[in-house]
Structure 1
Amino acid sequence: MATTRIFHPEQLIAQQALQLSDSAAGHVARVLRMRSGEQIHLFDGSGGYYSAILTDVAKRTVHVQLGDHVQTHNESPLKVHIGQGISRGDKMDFTIQKAVELGVSAITPLFTERCGVKLHADRWQKKLAHWQQVAISACEQSGRNIVPEIHKPAALENWVSQPSDELKLNLHPSAKFGISGLEQPTHGVRLVIGPEGGLSDSEIELSKQHGFQSVLLGPRVLRTETAALTALTALQVKFGDLG
């Protein structure tokens, strides 16, 4: 049985004793019903993890004793930053979760012409915190020890115009070549994905003006969440550590 992995939001130090965060304590004590003496792995997002022993488990508080730091090397050699058009319902959660499992480095939710999600500013802060927690949970499940950042939502025109040395890609059904025809990127990849309904012609043209080249995924039209994950998988197979 796999050892339970828990993210800790503060810096960890070998051999220290500490109290888990409220959410982590609730998960360990009330969901998993773990007991004192059992082992977990803790990571703080800086790389590697710490073995830890539960020393005191109560309903609302859990204390642990850390062991030594264990260095791991399971991050993809390919850095991919996805600009994802914001989608409705739980589709955005799904895209973030699976992209983290597939090794994405960062995600920026994008406001586009066909973005159908509209929230007040205070609710966007809550939504962003929720998306970051989705990424954390995906790291706990998948064994990643570095948590990809979910950046503050941005307008597509602002994101595509950011200075970057990354290989800039946009998916388009009329592109002349696919990901297999790309040259090895030297500074990672910046990939823009449209929302439900895709990017408008003017947004595609704007992306081209800022150096994004169109690539083809295949002959079939894919949903926004399928397109993001298919493209990321293809990039990891071609340049990263999948396959």
Structure 2
Amino acid sequence: MRRFFYAISDDNNPSETTYSKLSTLPIGASVELTESIVHHWCRVLRANIGDQGVLFDGFGGEYQVQLQAISKKHATVTLLAHLDTDRDTAVLTKIGLVMSRGERMDYAIQKSTELGVTAIQLLSSHHGEVNLKPAQVEKKLAHWQQVAIAACEQCGLNRPPLILAPIAINDWLKPAATAKPINVETAVSPMVATMSQDTYYQALLQPANLRLQLSVPAAGQPAMPKALLTTLQQTAPYIELLIGPEGGLSDEECAQAANVGFEPWQIGARVLRTETAPVVALATLQALVS
């Protein structure tokens, strides 16, 4: 069955319809679909009354639904059943990812989502290729969040990762005592703003159990930080990963990362591309925790 993200808050949606969390509605209730779902399911895919699909709103689980009515601009479904599963991973992860250009960035976000990342903090850095102007941020943030949501619709993840608005790496790597706290609700696209306040995502506001910087192979560095396996044995461990641009982080940025507790982690003897590194890192974490 087709899967669709049911965004209950989206300032870009021209409709004045107020959408409710699916968990507040009883099985058997009629639900007005969002305009994006109506467009995709009913117009592009030409669904018919009686067709069934799956909705998820990011608050946990998914709902089997059946199309009840379709008009030119609107459609309603009936909630048939709820499945209490999220298909998330046993480890909470946030990636600090220096932005790259075009398809490479889309690939990094898409594959990180499929591998269960919880959040991606977009970063700009000294050697980074992308520095967004203020007028560009909203549009690019919406695009990258939609890339993550589309990956969720495909892979079955019911809690989309949060894509956090870009900040300078120097600001992200400030010591906790001097760093400006991030307001998650205002740092994400409107389509996930309400969802971001769910308790599941609030763990991201706490200090990570372990911070790892994906580094290029270097003599004398351990292949795996000693604390990694110990951390993964904890209940619901939270790990932050720092991944630099194609040109790598500057010496100053590496020193700043080390100063706030990031340990170098080199995976194998090869230099990984910036879009490959998150895939390899997340897959390795999953293999180690299973």
Give the structure-2-normalised TM-score: 0.78
Question: 3-state SS of the aligned residue for 2:122?
Answer: strand
Q: Look up the match of 1:19.
A: 32
Q: 1:16 deviation in Å?
A: 2.2
Is 1:7 the counterpart of 2:57? The answer is: no
The answer (yes or no) to whether the contact 1:41–1:52 under 8 Å persists in 2 is: yes
The answer (yes or no) to whether the contact 1:167–1:189 under 8 Å persists in 2 is: yes
- Paired residues for 1:83-102 under 5 Å: 83-102=96-115
Q: 1:60 deviation in Å?
A: 3.1
Q: 1:63 deviation in Å?
A: 1.4
Change (3 A) 1:31 1:180: farther
> CA RMSD for the aligned pairs?
1.7
Alignment identity in percent? 41
Give me the whole-angstrom Cα distance separating, in 2, the residues matched to 1:180 and 1:234.
Answer: 13
In the alignment, structure 1 segments of 5+ residues that lack a partner are none
Q: In the alignment, residue 166 of structure 1 is paired with which amino acid?
A: N
Question: 3-state SS of the aligned residue for 1:153?
Answer: strand
Is 1:198 the counterpart of 2:248? The answer is: yes
- Paired residues for 1:1-243 under 5 Å: 3-10=1-8, 11-12=21-22, 13-14=25-26, 15-161=28-174, 163=176, 164-172=207-215, 173-174=217-218, 176-179=221-224, 182-185=228-231, 186=234, 187-239=237-289, 241=290
Question: 3-state SS of the aligned residue for 1:152?
Answer: strand
Q: 1:176 deviation in Å?
A: 2.1
The answer (yes or no) to whether the contact 2:208–2:240 under 8 Å persists in 1 is: no
Deviations 1:107-156 (A, max 9, x none): 00101111222332121111111111111111111101111111111111
Question: 3-state SS of the aligned residue for 1:128?
Answer: helix
Change (3 A) 1:135 1:4: same
Moved more, 28-37 or 12-21: 12-21
Aligned residues: 238
In the alignment, structure 2 segments of 5+ residues that lack a partner are 9-20, 177-206
Question: 3-state SS of the aligned residue for 1:67?
Answer: strand
Give me the whole-angstrom Cα distance separating, in 2, the residues matched to 1:232 and 1:114.
Answer: 24
Moved more, 97-106 or 226-235: 226-235
Q: 1:51 deviation in Å?
A: 0.9
Change (3 A) 1:74 1:5: same
Question: 3-state SS of the aligned residue for 1:90?
Answer: helix
The answer (yes or no) to whether the contact 2:86–2:157 under 8 Å persists in 1 is: no
After TM superposition, where is structure 1 displaced by more than 6 Å over at least 4 residues in a row?
A: none
